[in-house]
C-alpha cells in the first residue's frame, strides 16, 4: 500500500491563512492582543515573585 505524504505548514503560514497576512487589520489586532497577553503574564509573574497583591502593586510609586 502506498503511503500519502502529509503536508505540513509553518505557524506563519497558518496565521497568514486563518488570521490574515502581516500588515492587515486582523493580523495587527491579533499580534497586538498577543503582545498584551505576554506583557500581562510578565507583570503577574513579577508581582507574584515579590509577593504583592494587585492592590499593593497598584499603590507602588514608580519613577
* Tens digit of pLDDT at every position of the chain (63 positions): 778 899 999 999 999 999 999 999 999 999 999 999 999 999 999 999 999 999 999 898 765
Alpha helices in the chain (DSSP H): 11-18, 25-49, 54-59
Q: How far is it, in rounded angstroms, from Cα 20 to Cα 26?
A: 6
Q: What is the pLDDT of residue 63?
A: 56
Tell me if 4 is assigned to some domain.
no
Asked, for residue 31, whether it belongs to a domain, the answer is yes
Distance CA 25, CA 57 (A): 34
Question: CA 44 to CA 4: how far, in whole Å?
Answer: 46
Does any domain span residue 11?
no
Q: Is residue 29 part of a domain?
A: yes
Asked if residue 12 is part of any domain, the answer here is no
Q: Let me know if residue 8 belongs to a domain.
A: no
Check if the beta carbon of residue 57 is closer than 8 Å to that of residue 47. yes
Residue ranges making up the domain that contains 47: 23-63
Distance CA 44, CA 50 (A): 10
Q: How many domains does the chain have?
A: 1
Amino acid at each position: 500500500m502506498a503511503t500519502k505524504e502529509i503536508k505540513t505548514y509553518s505557524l506563519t503560514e497558518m496565521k497568514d491563512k486563518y488570521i490574515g497576512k502581516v500588515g492587515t487589520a486582523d493580523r495587527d489586532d491579533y499580534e497586538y492582543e498577543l503582545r498584551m497577553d505576554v506583557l500581562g503574564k510578565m507583570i503577574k509573574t513579577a508581582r507574584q515573585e515579590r509577593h504583592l497583591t494587585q492592590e499593593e502593586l497598584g499603590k507602588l510609586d514608580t519613577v
